[in-house]
A and B are shown apart, each in its own frame.
Chain A
Amino acid sequence: MKPALDDIATLVGLQLGSGTVEAGDLLVQDLGAVSADIVNIVVALEDKYGIEIDETALADVNTVADLHRLVEELV
């Protein structure tokens, strides 16, 4: 399944309980995610897209769009 930015934003919104997630939102500062939430988002993405995300790759992930790029590379 090709990852659509909208789908990723919806997934992040479900994880964080937010209905208004935008591509440029910062996961921590804008959306209030804590480290456990980030891990849970990663696991949900892995389950949804059948991928494995290396935790070291998360260092460069700040926004929803960053997550989308990461998933696109792995699918």
Chain B
Amino acid sequence: MAPAAFKTLIEMLSFRAGQTPGKAAFSFEARDWTFEEIWEGANRIAANLQDLGVTDGDRVVIAIANGPEFFFAFYGAQRAGAIAVPVFPGFGPDRLMVYAGLCGAKAIVVPTGMPQELLARLRQIGHSNHVLVTDVAEAPATGRGHAFHEIEPNDIAFIQYTSGSTGDPKGVQISHHNLLTNIRQMIDGMDIGEHDVFVSWLPVYHDMGLILKTMVPFYLGLDLHLLATDLRDTSIWLKSIRKNRGTFTAAPDFAYRLCLRQIRNPGAHDLSSLRVALNAAEPVRYRTIADFEKAFRLKNVVTPAYGLAEATVGVCMWPPNKPCKVDDHGHVSVGRPFRGVEMTIVDNGEKVATGTIGEIAISSPALPSGYFNNRKANEALFWKPGHILSGDLGYVDDDGDYFIVGRKKNTINQSGRTIYTQEIEEIADTVPLVRYAVALGIDRQRTEGEQIYLFAEIREDETLSTGDYEEIIRTIVGKMFADLGIRPARVYLVRPKTIPLTYNGKFQHGRLKSQYLDGTLVKSGQILYPEY
């Protein structure tokens, strides 16, 4: 069987385990995990779930971090005919139960060695919510002797919850057919082949880390070096690339910026084996690409791409090994759609002209059917049958190259002008001592509508005086006026870690806004300056 014939992920895994049982599916913490071991682990979990009464179509929440047990549970749930629901493993018992409730889960699988008190608490609230809780170690020593149903291509493999900025998670239901189609689109569009060596620290419980960085190499039987998601030390990532001669890695923009901050001696890191360092999942900044490539002596390796869970994951990518294309506003092109994908720029329900900014609509054979059990969200999701609205704003240029300019919701309407928070944030980020900045549109009921309120996290430094704070603010305001011709209504300098992030590192504009408007931000003492 050639990969092109795989109809389900289970078939893919079973084929790999049968044909190349001793081949490492991935390495993790200095140990290879073979396809046979992953398949065995999946069958053990499937047997356990079946014994617990889990059956076709039941949802099983998987709360496990990067490592072999995640794959045992993720594929084990599917092997048992259930739908896997991977979630952030750092959630506490109450939050886990919220997700279990959202998808109506029958069971939650947690890793071996979860602290006893946490496990006890989880079992206790699981019991009162009729959700079974099991850890990986409870699975029988073998899955043999259990019979499992055949999985169909249109069966839902997993539900991907998207962490919206409003704190209102929605679960995209992704079928085996969706996944295999998108895997093939990405392999084709990114020119992935047997020469590639994958290195990834991305969370395996989230789409880019799961589909692009583990399913794609599993599909082709490529080498994968998987790391924990800990980013306190980005040199671990870079060392793995060098040691394993990695050719393909991926991360959101902030991770590349983090490297520039953390790595004092970029010259000591040889990343010359890299063919593609994908930059996606949050706004791509040209500054990041240029600075990273300069520091690590790379050329046309950091590659902008675009995707979203509502389209399975990958939608388009800039061609690797070609200089980036940057527009007059500093937006970097994310290239052209993958094979079979159609991107349309729409405004008020109509397609707009080339060069005009609008919302990006997407149609693709990999398009999932929508959100799980959420009619209201599904009604808003579709532009027309077969085309979803991404919630992202962008445009296409005369060459047919696409640009993303921001999130539809993260715009500020000031005096009839639409301002993208991303542009403001990028300007503020270049000011010395600023770590991150977030811009919000706040309407103070005066005559001019929404105004820009900027929150800039300042590096911890006890020696900074009020005069220093004032100078930072004046610099930010001056730069913004020089670049955009507008001034913010207010700039707040705040302590590090004030800006709320999602677990995968995206700013939560909505949450910060409510913290500011309800006064909790001021009361928290996190604002350094000014006091009003």
Pick from A13, A37, A42, A47: contact of B474, CB under 8 Å: A13
Check B487–A48 contact: CB distance below 8 A: no
Smallest Cβ distance from A7 to chain B, in angstroms? Answer: 10
CA distance A42 to B414 in the complex (A): 17
Pick from A14, A35, A42, A48: contact of B473, CB under 8 Å: A14
> B531: which A residues are within 8 A, CB to CB?
48
Q: Which of A1-47 contact B (CB under 8 A)?
A: 10, 13-19, 35-37, 39-40, 42-44, 47
Closest to A40 in B: B489
Check B471–A17 contact: CB distance below 8 A: no
> A18: which B residues are within 8 A, CB to CB?
474, 478
Closest to B449 in A: A36
B470 close to chain A: CB less than 8 A: yes
Check A17–B530 contact: CB distance below 8 A: no
Closest to A48 in B: B532
Pick from B447, B475, B476, B477: contact of A16, CB under 8 Å: B477
Check A37–B530 contact: CB distance below 8 A: no
CA distance A37 to B447 in the complex (A): 12
> B448: which A residues are within 8 A, CB to CB?
35-36, 39
B481 close to chain A: CB less than 8 A: yes
Check B490–A44 contact: CB distance below 8 A: yes
Contact A44 B471, CB 8 Å, known A36-B451, A37-B487: no
Q: What mask results when residues 69 to 108 of chain B are scored 1 for a CB within 8 Å of chain A, else 0?
A: 0000000000000000000000000000000000000000
B144 close to chain A: CB less than 8 A: no
Check B470–A15 contact: CB distance below 8 A: no
B238 close to chain A: CB less than 8 A: no
Check A17–B481 contact: CB distance below 8 A: yes
Smallest Cβ distance from B499 to chain A, in angstroms? Answer: 21
Q: Which of B514-532 contact A (CB under 8 A)?
A: 530-532
Contact A36 B415, CB 8 Å, known A17-B477, A19-B471: yes
> B532: which A residues are within 8 A, CB to CB?
44, 47-48
B243 close to chain A: CB less than 8 A: no
Pick from A15, A42, A47, A55: contact of B487, CB under 8 Å: A15
Closest to A32 in B: B481
Contact A39 B447, CB 8 Å, known A44-B532, A47-B532: yes
CA distance A39 to B442 in the complex (A): 13
> A48: which B residues are within 8 A, CB to CB?
530-532
CA distance A17 to B491 in the complex (A): 11
> B486: which A residues are within 8 A, CB to CB?
36
Check B470–A43 contact: CB distance below 8 A: no
> A35: which B residues are within 8 A, CB to CB?
448
Smallest Cβ distance from B205 to chain A, in angstroms? Answer: 42
B444 close to chain A: CB less than 8 A: yes
Check A10–B470 contact: CB distance below 8 A: yes
CA distance A61 to B441 in the complex (A): 27
Query: What are 28 pairs between A and B in contact, CB < 8 Å?
Result: A10-B470, A13-B470, A14-B473, A14-B477, A14-B491, A14-B530, A15-B477, A15-B487, A17-B474, A17-B475, A17-B478, A17-B487, A18-B478, A19-B471, A36-B414, A36-B415, A36-B451, A39-B448, A39-B451, A40-B487, A40-B490, A43-B451, A43-B490, A44-B532, A47-B532, A48-B530, A48-B532, A55-B447
Lowest 10 A-B CB distances belong to which pairs? A17-B477, A17-B478, A48-B532, A47-B532, A40-B489, A39-B446, A36-B448, A17-B474, A14-B473, A43-B444
